[in-house]
Structure formats: structure tokens, C-alpha cells
């Protein structure tokens, strides 16, 4: 499974499929990468950059867990 | 299906049965008790949601504010029900109105915080132009209502507090509807997730209450109680959906 798909699948139940797709696109573009070119090495940085968004939408506890999980996908 | 939804469907069904058949006194009793109960459910549900977040979490402030508003509406409704059921009076303005009006402040702050929080996430919300168009349409709509109905209420010889209430209620309702319309738009971006469901029912709940309140100001029809308690139940459901997302 592609990295992009894995991250989207992780975020979908939380944010909804549409937001998950938009979130991965928005934050990977901020890292200067197209979502489909994401690699496993990008995940810790990508996860960290999503922390603020996840904290705001889901609370700190859930956000902390999510970034650890995403970094380890 | 969660219990709030079940109780809501039961009350709605009972309402459809009672309103065409029962005597006015029974309708008043049912309507007031249903509103008190649904406000209690909504306030408790939002308080549970608020408690799940940690202190300092951004969403906690928004849900605390919304819960505070619903509790104030609950106390206002208890006072109002006491007048209607026990004293068999309909005083206007009354002590209940003070609480009904005060509640708008935490409710508006709560909705504003949810919008502000979402803006801070960096996720796209839609184009600036579309929001400008939405704001312009809402302002135009309010201007029509103001010059058509509300302006005359300001010109009467009523006491200042009564004038404030007569214009304040529809204005606050309009503000709440306007702000929740933004929330519903954001929810469309978030569609498919538990968070979107929570914000959509919250927006719909406030919209129903706002519409019922605006109609009530001009035509206090008993069946409007069904719109009120439906709105309160939807607001309560928003808390449940948010909790569900956090427990996923």
C-alpha cells in the first residue's frame, strides 16, 4: 500500500475521508512534496506538521497518539 | 442508534399525536416539559464533551462555552415553565427572558471559537470571495427583516428593556444562524467524518431554534415547541457525535 493511502486511511475515521485527503495534500505540499511522492522517511516530519491541526480538531491526547502512529506507519 | 436519538424520536412522535388532538392546557404542559427535558439532555451532553478534553485543549474552550449557554437556557426554560404550568401566566418580559438573552453570549462565543479553531488548522475553508458573498447575503437579509419588522418595534412607546428584547431576540437568533451557517459550510469540507456530523447537527440545531424563536416573536403558536425541542436535541446529539469521534 502506498504511503499516501496509509496516512489517509489512518486519518479517515477521525476526520472523514474528504478531510483526510485534503489534510495529507495540504501538509505534504507544505513540505514541498506531492502527496503521491511521500516516502516512509517523510512521515515523522509530515506527522509533526499535522500536530497543530489534529490538536485543534481532536484534542492534545488524540493528536499526540496520532502523530506517533503516523510516523510509524 | 444512541439514546438521545431514541428519546427525541419518541417525543417528536408524541408531539405529532398530541398537538392536533389534545386540549391547550395539555399542549402547554407537554411543550414546556419537553423543552426543559431536551435542554437538560443537551446541556449534559455538551458538558460531557467538554470534560473529555484536557484543560487548555483548544476545542475544550468552545464546548465549555456552548455547554454554559445551554445550561443558562435550561434555567431560563425552567423559570418559564414554572410561570406557564404552575402560575398559569405568560409574563413578558420576565426573569426567564434575562437568562434567555444572557445565554446567547456564550453560545455565540462557542460557535465563533469552533470557527476560529478550524481556521487555525490551515485546512482550506473555501474561497474568501464565497465568504464575502455569504456575508453580504446575510447582511442584506437582516436589513430586509430590520426595515420590514424590527424598526417599527424600536419606534413604539414600550419600556427600553422590552424594546431591547423585541429587537434583541431576532437579532441574536439571526447572528447565531449566520455563524452556524459558516460552521455548516466548514462541515461540508469535513464531510464523512464524525467531526462533520457533530458540527452539522449543531448547526442545524441552532438554525431550528433560531427559526422557531423568530416565528414565535410574531406568532406564538404552541406547535413551535416541537421545533424548539428538536433543535435542543440536535445540539445534544452534536456533543454525542464529538464524543464518539474522541473515543474512536
Query: What is the pLDDT at residue B221?
Result: 87
Q: What is the three-class DSSP state of B157?
A: coil
Integer Cα distance of B41 and B184 in angstroms: 22
Residues of chain B that touch chain A, judged by Cβ-Cβ distance less than 8 Å = 52-54, 56-60, 117-118, 120-124, 189-196, 245-246, 248
Does residue A1 register a pLDDT over 70? no
d(CA B230, CA B11): 9
Contacts of A22 in chain B (CB under 8 A): 123-124, 189
Chain B residues in contact with A66 by the CB 8 A cut-off are none
Do the chains contact at B189 and A18, CB–CB below 8 Å?
yes
Q: Which residue has the cell 439514546?
A: B3
Render pLDDT for B179-196 as a digit per residue (tens, 0 to 9). Answer: 999 988 888 877 777 778
What integer is the mean pLDDT of B8-25?
89
B2 or A24: which leads in pLDDT:
A24
User: Helix B3-21 vs helix B224-247: angle between axes, to the nearest 10 degrees?
Assistant: 170
pLDDT tens digits for range B90-146: 888 999 999 999 999 999 999 999 999 888 888 888 888 989 999 999 999 999 989
For residue A44, the model assigns a pLDDT of 94
Contacts of B198 in chain A (CB under 8 A): none
Q: Residue B46 in contact with residue B239, Cβ under 8 Å?
A: yes
Whole-model pTM: value is 0.89
Q: Which residues contact B21 (CB under 8 A, 6 or more apart)?
A: none
Does residue B1 have a pLDDT over 70?
Answer: no
CA distance A16 to chain B (A): 3
- A13 and B193 in contact by Cβ < 8 A? yes
> Stretch B196-217: mean pLDDT, rounded?
89
Contact A13 B52 (CB under 8 A): no
Span B155-176, pLDDT tens digits: 888 899 999 998 999 899 999 9
pLDDT in tens, A13-61: 878 788 888 899 999 999 899 999 999 999 999 999 999 899 888 888 8
Give per-residue pLDDT as tens, B41-78. Answer: 999 999 999 998 888 788 899 999 999 999 999 999 99
Contact B123 A62 (CB under 8 A): no
Interface contact A15-B193, CB threshold 8 A: yes
Tell me how many residue pairs between chain A and chain B have CB atoms under 8 A apart. Answer: 80
pLDDT at site B197: 86
% of chain B surpassing 90 pLDDT: 56
> Which of A 14-73 lie inside 8 A of B, CB atoms?
14-20, 22-23, 26-27, 30, 52-53, 55-62
Amino acid at each position: 500500500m502506498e504511503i499516501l493511502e496509509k496516512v489517509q486511511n489512518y486519518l479517515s475515521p477521525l476526520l472523514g475521508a474528504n478531510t483526510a485527503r485534503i489534510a495529507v495534500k495540504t501538509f505534504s505540499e507544505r513540505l514541498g512534496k506531492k502527496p503521491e511522492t511521500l516516502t516512509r522517511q517523510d512521515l515523522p516530519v509530515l506527522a509533526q506538521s499535522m500536530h497543530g491541526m489534529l490538536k485543534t480538531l481532536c484534542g492534545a491526547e488524540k493528536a499526540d497518539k496520532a502523530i506517533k502512529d503516523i510516523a510509524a506507519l | 442508534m444512541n439514546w438521545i436519538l431514541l428519546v427525541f424520536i419518541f417525543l417528536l412522535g408524541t408531539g405529532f399525536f398530541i398537538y392536533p388532538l389534545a386540549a391547550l392546557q395539555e399542549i402547554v404542559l407537554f411543550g414546556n416539559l419537553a423543552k426543559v427535558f431536551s435542554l437538560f439532555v443537551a446541556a449534559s451532553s455538551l458538558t460531557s464533551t467538554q470534560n473529555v478534553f484536557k484543560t487548555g485543549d483548544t476545542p475544550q474552550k468552545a464546548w465549555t462555552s456552548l455547554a454554559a449557554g445551554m445550561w443558562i437556557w435550561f434555567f431560563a426554560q425552567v423559570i418559564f415553565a414554572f410561570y406557564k404550568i404552575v402560575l398559569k401566566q405568560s409574563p413578558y418580559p420576565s426573569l426567564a427572558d434575562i437568562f434567555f438573552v444572557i445565554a446567547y453570549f456564550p453560545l455565540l462565543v462557542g460557535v465563533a471559537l469552533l470557527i476560529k479553531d478550524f481556521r487555525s488548522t490551515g485546512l482550506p475553508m473555501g474561497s474568501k470571495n464565497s465568504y464575502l458573498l455569504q456575508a453580504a447575503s446575510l447582511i442584506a437579509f437582516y436589513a430586509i427583516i430590520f426595515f420590514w419588522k424590527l424598526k417599527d418595534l424600536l419606534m413604539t412607546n414600550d419600556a427600553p428593556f422590552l424594546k431591547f428584547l423585541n429587537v434583541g431576540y431576532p437579532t441574536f437568533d439571526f447572528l447565531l444562524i449566520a455563524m452556524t451557517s459558516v460552521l455548516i459550510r466548514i462541515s461540508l469540507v469535513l464531510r464523512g467524518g464524525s467531526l462533520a456530523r457533530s458540527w452539522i447537527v449543531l448547526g442545524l440545531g441552532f438554525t431550528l431554534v433560531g427559526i422557531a424563536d423568530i416565528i414565535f416573536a410574531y406568532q406564538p403558536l404552541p406547535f413551535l415547541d416541537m421545533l424548539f425541542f428538536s433543535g435542543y436535541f440536535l445540539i445534544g446529539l452534536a456533543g454525542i457525535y464529538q464524543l464518539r469521534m474522541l473515543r474512536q
